[in-house]
Amino acid sequence: MEKEVIMAASQPVAYERKKWEKSQKKQNYYRTLTLFSPITILALWEVLSRTALIDPRFFPPPSTIIVEFVHLAVNGNLSSHVMISLYRILGGFFLGVIPGILLGLLIGMYKPVRYTFQPLVMALMPIPTLALMPIIIIIFGITDFSKMVTIAGSVFFPVCINTAAGVSNIDPIFVDVAKNYGAKSKDYFFKIALPGSLPVMMEGIQMGQAIALLTIVAAEMIGANSGIGYLIWMDYKAFILKGMYVGLVIISFFGYFFSILLRFLQRRLIPWQK
């Protein structure tokens, strides 16, 4: 006869504490991994570039990029380029997000709106707004606003589509609850449709944020005489690749920063989601 005896620890609390400590250690280990992967890549890049195993003209060592960054920052005109880009990004972002949310909610809530606008949204979405930039510039000139419009045009679609999906994914039982308890359309909008669609909507806004950054660089390359995209383009044309990399690093930092900001906002706005 076989017998399996599982020995429980004689001190359960100590046993669980040990387990807890172990899991904490693991957590720290994962954190180091996230930190080390970029550092390793950068170190590798540095070494390969300095030993000319990769062409330092195309891939200047990261340390020289940092030096260039400090140099540009101290010389003063970097911060003005960053500020103007930031201004356009934020302006374009909100110019796209707000109408996106509004139309998305309407599409999700009202069938006639859905059947009228959904085909239009679907048909217009694949058109890159960048391709329309010449027209946008003809209409609005080489102004900050024309860049904002370009960004807004790209940001609008994922936000609108996700918001509409968020609304139509609301369990019909909550619609019944609202109806049975006599919710008027204003209350329905603010208590059911808006909060109910928020989780999916926020995913769309997160996407829109990334698209805004992709768009600003390209837009400033095409038609601008300031901004990070302009900087990247000029340095590229003058073959000052260090400067170009500074621009790319700044954009990448923006993306990282905005993601964290939005995640934070998401936790605040959607406290019921665990």
Partner 1 sequence: MSSDIKIRVHQLSKIFFRKNSSVHAIRDINFEVKNGEFVCLLGPSGCGKTTLLRILAGLEKPSGGSYEMIHGDRNKPLQSMIFQEKGVIPWMTVEENVAFGLRMRHAPKNETKERTDYYLKKVGLWEFRKLYPSEISGGMKQRASIARAFANDPEILLMDEPFAALDEQNKYILQEELLSIWEETKKTVLFITHSIDEALLLSDRILLMSAQPGTIVREKIIDLPRPRKIASVRSNPKMGKEFVDIWKHLQEAVNGNLKGATTSLPNEVY
**Which residues of the chain form contacts with partner 1 (CB under 8 A)?**
171, 173-174, 176-184, 187, 191-192, 195-196, 198, 270-274
Q: Minimum CB separation from partner 1 for residue 199, in Å? A: 9
Nearer to partner 1 by Cβ, of 4 and 171: the residue is 171
The distance of closest approach from Cβ of residue 198 to partner 1 in the complex, given in angstroms and rounded to an integer, is 7
**Nearest approach, Cβ of residue 273 and partner 1 (Å):** 8
Identify the residue whose tokens are 């003005």: 80
Report the residue number, 61 or 166, with the smaller CB distance to partner 1.
Answer: 166
Task: Give the nearest distance from C-beta 205 to partner 1 in angstroms.
Answer: 17
**Residue that is written with structure tokens 């387990």 in the block:** 19
Question: Measured from the CB atom, is 42 or 183 closer to partner 1?
Answer: 183
Specify the residue, 143 or 266, whose C-beta has the smaller distance to partner 1.
Answer: 266
The HSE-up count of residue 92 (CA atoms within 13 Å, CB side) is 32
Q: Which is nearer to partner 1, 21 or 176 (CB)?
A: 176
* Token output for 224: 């601008």
Nearer Cβ to partner 1, position 29 or 272? 272
- Rounded to a whole number of angstroms, the minimum distance from the CB of residue 162 to partner 1 is 17
DSSP the chain: ---------SSHHHHHHHHHHHHHHHHHHHHHHHHHHHHHHHHHHHHHHHTTSS-TTTS--HHHHHHHHHHHHHHSHHHHHHHHHHHHHHHHHHHHHHHHHHHHHHHHH-HHHHHHHHHHHHHHTTS-GGGGHHHHHHHH-SSHHHHHHHHHHHHHHHHHHHHHHHHHTS-HHHHHHHHHTT--HHHIIIIIIHHHHHHHHHHHHHHHHHHHHHHHHHHHHHS-SSSHHHHHHHHHHTT-HHHHHHHHHHHHHHHHHHHHHHHHHHHHH-TT--
> Cβ 175 to partner 1, closest distance in Å?
9
Instruction: Please state the closest distance from residue 192 (CB atom) to partner 1, in A.
Output: 8
Nearer to partner 1, 113 or 183 (CB): 183
- The two tokens of residue 193 are 């449709």
